[in-house]
């Protein structure tokens, strides 16, 4: 029985059926509507021969033709899939290795760590549109990058060409997001328990042995979580690639997100674009599942 | 660890650090070379940004000079030119309205939800949190064209409202995950003792927990603000003229007579400066929030 003498928290516990929903429900409702409405639209559009500006209901039902076009038609899904994997894979490996190395280095700095961290925050928070635009200038034939290469007597490629455009985009991502790994892994390194490291040092372990047998295994869950987070952003990255090359030249930088734009706007085939979007969302769900599995395992360990 | 630490201190503190025998080792834990390299690397990452800052004060001729001019007569012409650009001013105003509006709207929904997920013993608590996370992962480019169609039908196309509302799909989940961590840090007992005194659940949240979590809530709001301020994809496709935001102004600098680099640099600098200042203010919570709370900053 609930009386005036019952403690407040006890009363709250008993009335728990409805109260939590008053707190969580509104947020769930708003986000669900914002997520489900476009998804329904995508599913409907992906089965129709739809023209932009035409009411969707009037568009002809073509079944799975839009998806078939992804595989066999003029819009090569395989190509964008391959580019997305190269783009995400190369950027991820480079950023992870550089980030880990630099984090280990900063961890051993004697002073000024917080200043270094503050400086490294900046690339990540700059407007992606501006980042793309400015690096496009730096990568031009007579730009800063090629000038720097000439100082070392290195070849100066045409970064705007089919062969090098994707590399330019990847290099920009490495500049902007290596700090992401540096900062998270540095925080992880500094939170490591000191006892195992000190014990190993007393036993005469070399710095490499400490790193290899103690620090890296302890850091592994964090490395995996950070890498998955980064992959999720790389797979849906649109703005910088769009501003720099918009998928071109030809389709040299046409990653999955760019393919959504190109089929929908440039080729005026939003039905095919919707099919692309559904595949993109499906891939995100797959990586999200991996991420959640990692996060859960790590949390129960911690 | 500071340089002087292993040498100074009472015998007791030296003992606590592992004794005299380990002093030399403790000192080798840091190194001068590592310090110098750390600063060199930070400088290398800052260079493209600093060069942008420098170039915003250059004349068009100086801006394309090679080798790049580090010594030049600075000019304010670029800044003068962009302050005279009415459209750019409107874009900036829209960006402020959209960033503030969408952050406020998202926090209004995210804070109670985060509180509920922390404080109520629900069976599906983790599941709901992960559901929010999955929604946060929806690629903007995948939903922007459906939004385009819906916005046209609802007569919201090219208004600040369409951006304020659609941004919450990402900002409510993101906000929940950020705020959740900060509420977890407030001891439950404080609330329970005030509820023993007859305060309601809502009262306990508003008067006990939220004031204690205020620094964290501020940091979360700043992070959402930064995201909304920088957002490009939705703003680019869901607006054309009236509601266009600052990040979509890049097209301005591509003219028939070439690219106006100086003005572009100046525009980029004005657009990024507020965000840089904000990020420095919240740098302590920044790292932990980047990792969905996997590390505490």
Does residue A200 fall inside a structural domain? yes
What is the reported pLDDT for A132? Answer: 92
| Confidence class for position B297, pLDDT limits 50, 70, 90 | very low
Residue A95 and residue A25 share a domain: no
Q: Using a CB–CB cutoff of 8 Å, tell me whether B16 touches chain A.
A: no
**Strand pairing category for B258-259 and A60-61:** unpaired
Does residue A222 fall inside a structural domain? yes
What is the reported pLDDT for B9? Answer: 35
Residue A296 and residue A230 share a domain: yes
What is the reported pLDDT for B282? Answer: 82
Helix (H, G, I), strand (E, B) or coil at B254: strand
What is the DSSP code (8-state) at residue B118?
Answer: H
Question: Which residues in chain B touch residue A280, judged by CB atoms under 8 angstroms apart?
Answer: 139, 141-142
Domains defined along chain B, listed by start: 11-77 (no CATH), 80-290 (1.10.3720.10)
Does residue A54 fall inside a structural domain? no
- Mean pLDDT of the residues in chain B: 83
Higher pLDDT, A14 or B85: B85
Tens of pLDDT along A32-84? Answer: 999 999 999 999 988 888 877 777 777 788 888 888 888 876 668 889 999 99
What is the reported pLDDT for A110? Answer: 85
Angle at B109 between CA B106 and CA B115, to 5 degrees: 120
| Confidence class for position B13, pLDDT limits 50, 70, 90 | very low
Could you tell me how many CB contacts below 8 A there are between chain A and chain B?
A: 303
B 45-64 residues with CB below 8 A of A? 45-46, 48-49, 51-52, 64
Tokens of B189: 């007992």
Q: Does residue B24 carry a pLDDT above 50?
A: no
Q: At what angle do helices A270-301 and B125-136 cross, to 10 degrees?
A: 140
Q: Does residue B16 carry a pLDDT above 90?
A: no
Residue A291 and residue A228 share a domain: yes
Residue A264 and residue A197 share a domain: yes
Does residue A58 fall inside a structural domain? no
Does residue A212 fall inside a structural domain? yes
Mutation target vs A (from B48, B126, B250, B274; most A CBs, 10 A cutoff): B48
Give counts: helices (H), strands (E), chain A: 14, 2
Q: Does residue A122 carry a pLDDT above 50?
A: yes
Q: Rounded CA gap, A67 and A77, in Å?
A: 10
Residue A141 and residue A12 share a domain: no
Among B266, B282, B288, residue whose Cα is nearest residue B54: B266
What is the reported pLDDT for B287? Answer: 76
What is the reported pLDDT for A91? Answer: 97
Q: Does residue A286 carry a pLDDT above 90?
A: yes
Does residue A1 fall inside a structural domain? no
For chain B, what percent of residues have pLDDT higher than 90? 39
Q: Does residue B6 carry a pLDDT above 50?
A: no
Contacts of A221 (CB under 8 A, 6+ apart): A294, A297, A298, A301, B294
Question: Which residues in chain A touch residue B280, judged by CB atoms under 8 angstroms apart?
Answer: 118, 121
Residue A217 and residue A124 share a domain: yes
Contacts of A97 (CB under 8 A, 6+ apart): none
Q: Does residue B10 carry a pLDDT above 60?
A: no
Higher pLDDT, B20 or B188: B188
Q: Rounded CA gap, A242 and A259, in Å?
A: 10
Q: Using a CB–CB cutoff of 8 Å, tell me whether A222 touches chain B.
A: yes
Alpha carbons within 13 A on the beta-carbon side of A262 = 24
CATH no. for residue A166?
1.10.3720.10
The dihedral formed by the CA atoms of B238, A126, B98 and B112, expressed in degrees to the nearest 10: 110
What is the reported pLDDT for B21? Answer: 39
Question: Which residues in chain A touch residue B150, judged by CB atoms under 8 angstroms apart?
Answer: 37-38, 41
Q: Using a CB–CB cutoff of 8 Å, tell me whether B199 touches chain A.
A: yes
Q: At what angle do helices A165-190 and A216-235 cross, to 10 degrees?
A: 140
| Largest Cα–Cα separation, chain A | 85
Helix (H, G, I), strand (E, B) or coil at A48: strand
Question: How far A118 CA lies from chain B's nearest CA (Å)?
Answer: 6
B 107-146 residues with CB below 8 A of A? 109-110, 112-113, 115-117, 120-122, 126, 128, 130-135, 137-143, 145-146
Q: Using a CB–CB cutoff of 8 Å, tell me whether B4 touches chain A.
A: no
* Burial grade of B290 (CB within 10 A; 0-12, 13-18, 19 or more): buried
User: Could A121 and B286 be called an inter-chain contact, meaning their C-beta atoms sit closer than 8 Å?
Assistant: yes
Specify the number of domains making up chain A.
2
What is the reported pLDDT for B204? Answer: 86
- Among A114-123, B75-84, B257-266, name the one with the lowest average pLDDT: B257-266
Residue A178 and residue A29 share a domain: no
Say which residue the tokens 């939705």 belong to.
B234
Residue A41 and residue A107 share a domain: no
What is the reported pLDDT for B19? Answer: 38
Tens of pLDDT along A204-238? Answer: 888 888 888 889 998 998 899 899 889 999 999 99
Tens of pLDDT along A6-37? Answer: 555 555 555 556 888 899 999 999 999 999 99
- pTM across the whole model: 0.86
Tens of pLDDT along B127-176? Answer: 999 999 999 999 999 999 999 989 998 999 999 999 999 999 999 999 99
Residue A31 and residue A162 share a domain: no
Residue A22, Cβ neighbours under 10 Å: how many? 12
Size of chain A in residues = 302
Contacts of A27 (CB under 8 A, 6+ apart): B109, B110, B112, B113, B132, B172, B176
- Among A14-18, A138-142, A255-259, B268-272, name the one with the lowest average pLDDT: A14-18
Residue A164 and residue A38 share a domain: no
Residue B269, Cβ neighbours under 10 Å: how many? 20
Does residue A245 fall inside a structural domain? yes
What is the reported pLDDT for B241? Answer: 87
* Structural domain span for residue A255: 67-301
Taking the alpha carbons at both ends of chain B, their separation in whole angstroms is: 17
Residue A104 and residue A199 share a domain: yes
3-state secondary structure B211-246: HHCHHHHHHHHHHHHHHHHHCCHHHHHHCCCCCCCH
Q: Using a CB–CB cutoff of 8 Å, tell me whether A130 touches chain B.
A: yes
What is the reported pLDDT for A10? Answer: 52
Does residue A271 fall inside a structural domain? yes
Residue A29 and residue A86 share a domain: no
- Among A10-14, B7-11, B46-50, name the one with the lowest average pLDDT: B7-11
Mutation target vs A (from B32, B138, B255; most A CBs, 10 A cutoff): B138
């Amino acid at each position: 029985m609930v009386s005036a003498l019952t403690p407040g928290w006890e009363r709250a516990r008993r009335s728990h059926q409805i109260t939590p929903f008053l707190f969580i429900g509104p947020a769930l409702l708003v986000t669900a509507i914002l997520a489900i409405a476009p998804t329904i639209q995508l599913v409907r559009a992906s089965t129709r021969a739809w023209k932009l500006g035409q009411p969707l209901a009037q568009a002809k039902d073509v079944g799975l033709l839009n998806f078939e076009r992804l595989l066999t038609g003029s819009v090569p899904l395989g190509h964008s899939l391959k580019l997305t994997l190269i783009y995400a894979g190369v950027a991820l490996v480079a950023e992870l290795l550089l980030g880990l190395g630099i984090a280990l280095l900063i961890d051993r700095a004697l002073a000024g760590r917080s200043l270094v961290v503050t400086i490294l925050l900046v690339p990540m928070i700059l407007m992606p549109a501006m980042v793309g635009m400015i690096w496009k200038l730096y990568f031009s034939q007579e730009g800063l990058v090629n000038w720097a290469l000439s100082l070392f007597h290195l070849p100066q490629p045409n970064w705007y060409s089919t062969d090098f455009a994707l590399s330019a985009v990847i290099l920009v991502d490495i500049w902007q997001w290596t700090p992401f790994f540096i900062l998270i892994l540095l925080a992880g390194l500094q939170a490591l328990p000191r006892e195992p490291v000190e014990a190993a040092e007393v036993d005469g372990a070399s710095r490499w042995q400490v790193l290899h047998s103690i620090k890296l295994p302890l850091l592994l869950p964090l490395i995996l979580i950070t890498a998955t987070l980064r992959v999720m952003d790389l797979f849906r990255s649109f703005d910088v690639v769009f501003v720099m090359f918009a998928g071109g030249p030809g389709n040299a930088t046409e990653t999955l997100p760019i393919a959504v734009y190109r089929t929908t706007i440039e080729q005026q085939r939003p039905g095919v674009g919707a099919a692309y979007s559904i595949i993109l969302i499906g891939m995100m769900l797959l990586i999200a599942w991996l991420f959640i599995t990692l996060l859960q395992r790590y949390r129960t360990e911690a | 660890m500071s340089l002087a630490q292993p040498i100074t201190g009472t015998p007791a503190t030296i003992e606590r650090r592992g004794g005299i025998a380990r002093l030399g080792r403790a000192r080798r834990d840091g190194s001068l070379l590592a310090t110098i390299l750390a600063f060199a690397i930070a400088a290398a990452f800052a260079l493209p940004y600093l060069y942008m800052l420098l170039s915003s004060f250059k004349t068009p001729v100086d801006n394309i000079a090679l080798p790049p001019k580090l010594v030049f007569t600075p000019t304010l012409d670029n800044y003068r030119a962009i302050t005279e650009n009415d459209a750019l001013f409107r874009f900036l105003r829209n960006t402020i309205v959209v960033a503030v509006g969408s952050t406020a709207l998202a926090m209004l929904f995210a804070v109670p939800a985060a509180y509920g997920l922390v404080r109520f013993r629900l069976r599906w608590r983790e599941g709901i949190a992960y559901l929010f996370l999955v929604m946060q992962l929806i690629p903007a480019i995948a939903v922007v064209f459906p939004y385009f169609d819906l916005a046209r039908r609802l007569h919201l196309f090219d208004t600040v409202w369409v951006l304020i509302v659609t941004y919450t799909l990402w900002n409510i989940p993101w906000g929940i995950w950020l705020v959740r961590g900060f509420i977890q840090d407030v001891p439950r007992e404080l609330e329970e003792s005030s509820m023993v005194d007859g305060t309601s659940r809502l009262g306990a949240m508003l008067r006990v927990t939220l004031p204690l979590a205020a620094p964290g809530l501020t940091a979360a709001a700043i992070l959402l603000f930064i995201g909304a301020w920088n957002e490009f994809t939705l703003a680019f496709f869901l607006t054309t003229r009236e509601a266009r935001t600052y990040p979509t102004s890049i097209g301005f600098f591509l003219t028939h007579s070439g690219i106006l680099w100086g003005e572009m640099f100046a525009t980029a600098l004005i657009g990024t400066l507020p965000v840089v200042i904000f990020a420095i203010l919240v740098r302590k919570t920044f790292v932990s929030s980047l990792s969905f709370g996997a590390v505490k900053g």
